[in-house]
Homo-oligomer: A and B are copies of this chain.
Amino acid sequence: MTKSERFLRACRKEPVDCTPVWLMRQAGRYMEEYRLVREKHSFLEMCRTPELAVEVTLQPIRRFDLDAAIIFSDILLPLEKMGVSLSFSDTGGPALGNPVRSKQDVLNLKAIDPETDLAYVLKAIEMTRQGLGGTVPLIGFCGAPFTLASYLIEGGGSKYYKLAKGMMHTEESAFHLLMEKLTDMACLYVNAQIRHGAQAVQMFDSWVGILSTTDYRTYVLPHMKRLFSSIDKSVPAIHFGVGTYHLLPLMEEAGGDVIGVDWRVPIDEAWALLGRRPAVQGNLDPTVLFTSRESIEGQVKDILARVIGSPGHIFNLGHGILPGTPVENVDFLISSVHDQSKLAS
């Protein structure tokens, strides 16, 4: 088996030579190479310029023994093309200039044509595939409808999601229409990424863990089912969330060939809650990368011991890698996953 096959085989729950590993936000601020590019260009400029997006996508692949690349981009980019103004600050996170607060605002959102509206992402995917030359597969991604809806309604990040939940509970038809429009967008967008070379796609439902199971079932599940049933079946789809222990059986019902789980529960317990149908991705606490080699290795061994012998585990962090993470610990983590999983199998 070549290294290039590890990740995709694990997504399909096929046996592998050792556990594949990639890290959410692996192209990011913790790398000096990234910071050098970022010093000269804004975050949005990096996303919108294929040459820059390709460069930072490839940086962690050149630096580390990772088993997959993920295209450098942002889940909020398609929202601009739906008619929302978007800006990023270094401190305050993303801000949307004209949030969606009424049914009319939802009606005003435009459908996108990824081939023209997000041509720069599709171009970056094509160029990255060329740059990778088959060494490791390339993952495309999209924000899941609920997480995007939260950003659109709140106008940025949020602590309590008061407005998003408010629309959900008092303007049900407007909320469902918003979810439908975002689902339409996501279907078109990820399928375009697949056509242009993405070999797997991850749906980031990063904020869905704040919902109750009841709200998820009513307001999110039907849309996620439609989304996963519309994604091109030729590549694996990864379904990711944080703080979702209570939602895991519903997320499994929603779909995805792989389900991402954070660090809160041991990965074998999470897998059991998923009925062991999908593959699983996770679940190291990103803060562990700030500790010692002993601590990292201990956690790697624990995670691997829980799933070894059951094909279908992709090693990852439970959430994105944090700024300031020491690169030598990233290197050590990746070797440790490969070495320990070879030893154990």
Shortest A271–chain B CB gap in Å is 14
The answer on a CB contact under 8 Å between B290 and A162 is yes
**A169-B295, A243-B243, A245-B245 known; A160-B287 Cβ under 8 A:** yes
Residues of B within 8 A of A291 (CB): 166, 169-170
Segment from A122-130, A230-238, A261-269 that makes contact with B: A261-269
Q: Does A292 sit within 8 A of B, measured CB to CB?
A: yes
Residues of B within 8 A of A265 (CB): 212-213, 246
Q: Does A322 sit within 8 A of B, measured CB to CB?
A: yes
Residues of B within 8 A of A287 (CB): 160-162, 165-166
The answer on a CB contact under 8 Å between A290 and B166 is yes
The answer on a CB contact under 8 Å between A264 and B290 is no
Alpha-carbon distance between A295 and B162 when the two chains are bound, in angstroms? 14
- Contact indicator per residue, chain A 272-309, by CB within 8 Å of chain B (1) or not (0): 00000000000001111011100100000010000000
This chain: how many copies in the complex? 2
The answer on a CB contact under 8 Å between A286 and B170 is no
Q: What residue in chain B is nearest A172 (Cβ atoms)?
A: B295
Partner among B209, B213, B264, B290 whose Cβ is within 8 Å of the Cβ of A212: B264
Shortest A162–chain B CB gap in Å is 5
Alpha-carbon distance between A269 and B161 when the two chains are bound, in angstroms? 24
Q: Does A214 sit within 8 A of B, measured CB to CB?
A: yes
**A166-B291, A170-B291 known; A263-B160 Cβ under 8 A:** no
Residues of B within 8 A of A263 (CB): 212
Q: Does A211 sit within 8 A of B, measured CB to CB?
A: yes
Residues of B within 8 A of A214 (CB): 266, 302
Partner among B160, B166, B246 whose Cβ is within 8 Å of the Cβ of A245: B246
- Contact indicator per residue, chain A 209-245, by CB within 8 Å of chain B (1) or not (0): 1111110000000000000000000000000000101
Residues of B within 8 A of A264 (CB): 209-213, 246
The answer on a CB contact under 8 Å between B286 and A169 is no
**A166-B290, A291-B170, A295-B170 known; A322-B266 Cβ under 8 A:** no
Residues of B within 8 A of A302 (CB): 214
- Contact indicator per residue, chain A 64-87, by CB within 8 Å of chain B (1) or not (0): 000000000000000000000000
The answer on a CB contact under 8 Å between A322 and B286 is no
The answer on a CB contact under 8 Å between B170 and A292 is yes
Residue from A243, A264, A285 having most chain B Cβ neighbours under 10 A: A264
Alpha-carbon distance between A312 and B215 when the two chains are bound, in angstroms? 25
Shortest A113–chain B CB gap in Å is 35
Q: What residue in chain B is nearest A318 (Cβ atoms)?
A: B212
Shortest A295–chain B CB gap in Å is 5
Partner among B212, B286, B292 whose Cβ is within 8 Å of the Cβ of A160: B286
Instruction: Supply 5 A–B pairs (Cβ within 8 Å), ascending by A.
Output: A160-B286, A169-B292, A210-B264, A212-B264, A213-B264
What 6 pairs between A and B have smallest CB-CB spacing? A245-B246, A165-B287, A162-B287, A169-B291, A169-B295, A170-B291
A interface residues, Cβ below 8 angstroms from B: 160-162, 165-166, 169-170, 209-214, 243, 245-246, 263-266, 269, 285-288, 290-292, 295, 302, 322
